[in-house]
Amino acid sequence: MWSIRRLAGFGVLAVLIAVLASAGGLIRLYTDWLWFQEVGFPAVFATTLKTQVVTGVALGLAFFLVLYTNALLARRLGPRDVLITVDDQLGLPSLEVLEPYLRVFILPVSLAFAAIAGWGAAGKWDLFLRFTNPVPFETSDPLFGQDIAYYIFRLPALKYLYGEAIVALLLAGLLAGGIYVCNRALRITPRGLWLSPGARRHLLALAALFLLLKAYGYRLDMYDLLYSERAVAFGAGYADVNAQLPVLKALMLLAVLTALLAVATGFSRSWRPFLGGVGALVALAILGGAVYPGLIQKFQVVPNEIVKEQPYIDLNIKFTRMAYGLDNIEEREFPAEGQLTPADLRANDATIKNIRLWDTQPLLATYSQLQEIRTYYKFTDIDIDRYRLNGAYRQVTLSPRELSYKDLPSKIWINERLSYTHGYGAVVGPVNRVTKEGLPEFLVKDIPPAGDGELKIARPELYFGELTNDYVFLKTQSKEFHYPAGDQNVYTTYEGTGGVSIGSFGRKLLFGLRFGDIKILLSDDLGPESRILYNRNIRERVERAAPFFRYDDDPYLVVSRDGRLFWFLDGYTTSDMFPYSARTRGLGNYIRNSVKATVDAYNGTIRFYIADGADPVVRAYAQIFPGLFAGALATMPEDLRAHVRYPEGLFAAQARMFALYHMRDAQVFYNKEDLWSIPGKGADGQSPMLPYYLIMRLPAEPREEFVLLLPFTPSRKDNMIAWLAARSDPPNYGKLISYNFPKQKLIYGPRQIEARIDQDSFISQQLSLWNQRGSQVIRANLLAVPIERSLLYVQPLYLAAEKGQLPQLKRVIVAFGDRIAMEETLEGALAGVFGERAGVPATAATPASPALAPGAPGGTTLAETASEAFSRALARQRAGDWAGYGAEMKRLEETLQKLRAQPGR
């Protein structure tokens, strides 16, 4: 009995550990509640917690009752005579010795398994909320006639409950069997296995329940056929419908029959009927579940695959297009004419002015060198957006200047938690403006943010961002660093509404325990007005507030009309349970960009807006959490709504699917006759081209707009076949258009243009020359710019020292049809392609600083000027532009005369 007391002591210790863990959980729960109150979503917290408690307790209690009831029943049904041990082959101690252990362990073992099951169920709270709040799709699956909502909202929860019920019955059977072994109701004798009548009926009853549950599992397996990958297309195919489905129906009936045989066997002496039923069930599961459908697939389907599978291919095409929103893509013809004229360029002045000359990676390196100001400030990303400035619609690059805590000069607690609390401002520049030194121009720059245009940043503090640490304290006795000013620092006091009060001793104790930091409790800098900001990373912030959405990987910063900074995040509703829809790894097979979230960079205020009111999933969440959404997208403040854009993540997923599912004819789809692909970047094409934003006037549209664009090429070919555009400006936000090229006409694709650039003798010589001078040539992503009914290619080139990090825009390459030109400016390259009288307005900026003298670092020597004039003359000659050729030769002559006049010549 001493060993029992010892084990009881271990049990008490386990209880103490559980209590301490529970105390830590309660502290975290309470501080989370304070945070949800701060951000204005206490109802979300309450609903989530209530669902977790109810589901956890309900499933845990069900688990406990199943295990504990069967364990008690096994103890009660065991034989009372403890002396029956003569023919025991296991050599176990007598029941008199084992009974105290059974009495002690049954309850804690049942509670332990119940706690595990309840904890797991609590983590599935979203599953059960969706189960109880379905919203119909008003579209039914073609095999069983169920509304799609059944598969999106109900089936996942039913499958989870089925799995938990199977586990509970198996554990109950094992627990009861173990107890029967201990109390000798189940023994291995020289004559074989012996069971007492009570134990026999009990275990057979559990087997019957298991079989009935398995019959229900076969019913659920029928629905899984809608996600079969056996056929040529995703979803139930010919063999699934005509072989697998009948077998599952037979298995369901046989499982029910075998369950009845199990009950009957409990009252008879022979095991044969029950064992025969189990054998038949196993044989049918093996032969009918795998062998028979495989034979049907091999000998009936494969020899006549297109005939047998055609109706199922049609279903796969229909439901995949529906699930990814491809059925809403408007398809238009794009003739890709090679007749672009200077008049066309002038008519598309806004498009030309907004061609992006600054690629994100070189620009990020340049911003880091020119505008980080201090080592603890970092630029992590370049956002592409648009603003209306001085009456013109302008595409801009924007990068927030965030505080990097790992780069603080002194990583002491006061610096990390009290002094350095926020980033400061952002850098904004036009996408096409370049100084004479080849550096980007700025619309907003420096600290404090300064600009000479309409765009102003009045509240530059970034208390919430992508680099922020977990928590800081505001309104403390310590000085809060604001920004550097020469040799001095400027300090500030937070004036916003963000954060949770931490002025009382109780709050200090709570947050000290929450973050495991005793300095919170001991610090004299925290006063009655002090506040704590936590969950400051914008992605983690919105995920904590609404964890049931998926969020795009690229948050972007927006400057409001009154100069405040707001983060935008795109939220997706997704599922992997849409019938017949092909799946994308890591995403599922249903996606909608139904949510737009904004986060105030100063106060941390979160607002969720419904961007797609037709999506049943977001409507379900609006029904579950009535106070979550601020309203439809139209209720967003107008100055912020002007910066809503179509997300790259969704567009990329749709483009990948559209490359295959633009084919709507089953025969064409089966043969992959018109399969497209996303072109690769660079001449080697190792990585796929990424979508890019442009301000442009779509063909046949009246005005320029902000669009997201991606070209397509035929599979294993490099010529262009189509391009897909997503519109971001109201009232056309969210509309997608596919512009399809004539199949009988060759239109150069990006890789072919890259190859032609490499084959151009002048360009290749120039690139080789630059690369040999201790510099590195960086080629930006090639942009395909649709103008009118033609396609123009633009590729900027940057030059950077091998050991430097300050890329400079050196040249711009323009390609149209068979013509290619490389010049210092975009208008120069356009003139090289379309002639001196192209009439293209200048896009290069006037110098931001005085031009460097010839021969100075970063400048151009007279010899280089002469060489470039000669190269341009050759380019004009190749283009047949004899007027331009004469002008360049005249410039060459003037440059040579200046060269001769230099001292020492």
pLDDT at position 458, please? 94
819: which 2 tokens?
């013509």
- Phi/psi at 653 (5° precision): -65, -45
Report residue 527's pLDDT band, with 50, 70 and 90 as the boundaries: very high
pLDDT over 60 at 382, yes or no: yes
pLDDT at position 23, please? 74
pLDDT at position 268, please? 85
- Phi/psi at 519 (5° precision): -65, -25
Average pLDDT of the segment spanning 713-740:
95
Average pLDDT of the segment spanning 562-580:
97
Return the exposure string of 2-23: e unless at least 16 CB atoms fall within 10 Å of the residue's CB, then b. eeeeeeeeeeeeeeeeeeeeee
First to last CA, the chain: 111
Backbone Cα Rg of the chain = 36
Q: 837, 821, 841: which is closest to 829 by C-alpha?
A: 821
pLDDT at position 5, please? 54
pLDDT at position 313, please? 97
pLDDT over 80 at 136, yes or no: yes
pLDDT at position 44, please? 96
pLDDT at position 1, please? 42
**Average pLDDT of the chain?**
88
Reported as half-sphere exposure (CB side, CA atoms, 13 A), residue 737 has a value of 16
pLDDT at position 441, please? 94
Of 171-185, 531-545, 754-768, 881-895, where does mean pLDDT reach its minimum?
Answer: 881-895
Write out the DSSP string of 177-227: HHHHHHTTSEEEETTEEEE-HHHHHHHHHHHHHHHHHHHHHHHHHHHHGGG
> Percent of the chain beyond pLDDT 90?
72
pLDDT at position 877, please? 66
pLDDT at position 765, please? 87
pLDDT 10s digits, 644-659: 999 999 999 999 999 9
pLDDT over 60 at 683, yes or no: no
pLDDT at position 861, please? 62
CB 708 within 8 A of CB 646: yes
Calpha distance 494→472 (Å, rounded): 12
Left, alpha or beta for 839 (phi > 0: left; psi -120 to 50: alpha)? left
pLDDT over 90 at 133, yes or no: yes
CB 421 within 8 A of CB 480: yes
Average pLDDT of the segment spanning 543-547:
96
The strand ranges marked E within 65-215 are 186-189, 192-195
Q: Tokens 């900001």 belong to which residue?
A: 533
Q: 51, 5, 904, 187: which is closest to 548 by C-alpha?
A: 51
pLDDT 10s digits, 201-233: 999 999 999 999 999 999 999 999 999 999 999
Higher-pLDDT residue of 387 and 761 is 387
Of 136-140, 734-738, 745-749, where does mean pLDDT reach its minimum?
Answer: 745-749
For residue 485, the surrounding DSSP H or E stretch is: strand 480-485
Average pLDDT of the segment spanning 127-142:
96
Calpha distance 842→826 (Å, rounded): 8
Average pLDDT of the segment spanning 885-895:
75
pLDDT at position 79, please? 72
Residues 6+ away with beta carbon under 8 Å from 852: 436, 437, 858, 859
pLDDT winner (highest mean) among 8-12, 506-510, 878-882: 506-510
The pTM (predicted TM-score) of the whole model is: 0.88
Return the exposure string of 518-529: e unless at least 16 CB atoms fall within 10 Å of the residue's CB, then b. eebeebeebeee
Of 122-126, 397-401, 491-495, 679-683, where does mean pLDDT reach its minimum?
Answer: 679-683
pLDDT at position 507, please? 94
Coil, strand or helix at 440: strand
pLDDT at position 202, please? 93
pLDDT at position 706, please? 97
Report residue 179's pLDDT band, with 50, 70 and 90 as the boundaries: confident
Kind of pairing between the strands at 590-600 and 377-378: unpaired
Kind of pairing between the strands at 392-400 and 383-389: antiparallel
pLDDT at position 886, please? 72
Of 452-456, 705-709, 715-719, where does mean pLDDT reach its minimum?
Answer: 452-456
pLDDT over 60 at 275, yes or no: yes
pLDDT at position 860, please? 47
Kind of pairing between the strands at 736-740 and 330-333: parallel
Calpha distance 494→102 (Å, rounded): 63
pLDDT over 50 at 846, yes or no: no
pLDDT 10s digits, 2-49: 455 554 555 555 555 555 556 778 999 999 999 999 999 999 999 999
pLDDT over 70 at 739, yes or no: yes
Average pLDDT of the segment spanning 490-519:
94
Average pLDDT of the segment spanning 714-723:
94
Higher-pLDDT residue of 881 and 643 is 643
Coil, strand or helix at 460: coil
pLDDT over 90 at 571, yes or no: yes
pLDDT at position 818, please? 87
Of 152-161, 263-272, 402-411, 857-866, where does mean pLDDT reach its minimum?
Answer: 857-866
Reported as half-sphere exposure (CB side, CA atoms, 13 A), residue 143 has a value of 25
pLDDT 10s digits, 803-830: 767 899 999 999 998 899 999 999 999 9
pLDDT winner (highest mean) among 190-199, 703-712, 796-805: 703-712
pLDDT 10s digits, 465-485: 999 878 999 999 999 999 998
pLDDT 10s digits, 417-438: 999 999 999 999 999 999 988 9
Q: 606, 613, 650: which is closest to 630 by C-alpha?
A: 606
pLDDT 10s digits, 252-274: 999 999 999 999 998 888 888 89
Of 6-15, 64-73, 559-568, 763-772, where does mean pLDDT reach its minimum?
Answer: 6-15
